Amino acid sequence: MPAFNHKLYLVTDQQACLGRDFFKVVESAVKGGVDIVQIREKELHEKDFLKKTLQLKELLDKYNVPLIVNDVLSVAMHGRTAGIHVGNSDLSPVMIRMQWPESVLGYSLEHLDQLSTSNAMVADYIALSPVFATATKQDTVIEWGLEGIRQVRSLTKYPLVAIGNVHAGNAAAIINAGANCLAVVSAICSAEDPEKAAATIRNEIEKSI
């Protein structure tokens, strides 16, 4: 399995871009320090999702930044992306690993007992979602908080990605609690200057490592 050593993870949200050009927002974020991107499109038809994924991958390849697809295995594979991220209501990581062994595979943890399952064990990184409650993801079971990060960190050596209301103001605390990487949506996508917002968060991460 590929090593996961990324620090600032942008999860895209077309609506959070506030009417601005989606690709320009993502490119600005990458220039600011984002080193991995996940494209998440719940509303697009699969054909349109693939088209957008291919266009985004072409952009990110210029910066050597890997692209992860949320949920849809066919788009991830046909788009020749780096990998896929899934939750518990999606295709299981075990099945994905069998079909696409070379992929980067992320798995969202909703309960502590899921950490010891085969789905978690075949993943390259574990996402704790959400760390703090957020309007961008309302179908969640638990709010992990800093104590939850500490608890999971004490139980696993897997890379931990924290997502959910992550911003410059809490970035250091989240890293200090044990997260390896911060996944950000609106704090970058909705920022007046996405490049500056990403750079500020990346700086907080670097200071805390």
What is the DSSP secondary structure assignment for residue 17, as one 8-state letter? G
Q: Which residue has the tokens 């609690």?
A: 177
Q: Which residues participate in catalysis according to the annotation?
A: 40, 108, 137
Q: Which amino acid is at 185?
A: V
- Give the pair of three-digit tokens for residue 35: 């080193």
The number of CA neighbours under 13 Å toward the Cβ of 136 is 25
Residue-wise burial string across 101-133, b where 16 or more C-beta atoms lie within 10 A, e elsewhere: eebbbbbbbbeeeebebebbebbbbbbbbbbbe
Q: Which amino acid is at 136?
A: T
Q: Which residue has the tokens 């103001």?
A: 169
- Give the pair of three-digit tokens for residue 83: 């990998």
Residue-wise burial string across 4-20, b where 16 or more C-beta atoms lie within 10 A, e elsewhere: bebbbbbbbbbebbeee
The CA-based dihedral angle spanning residues 116, 119, 120, 126, taken in that order and rounded to the nearest 10 degrees: -150
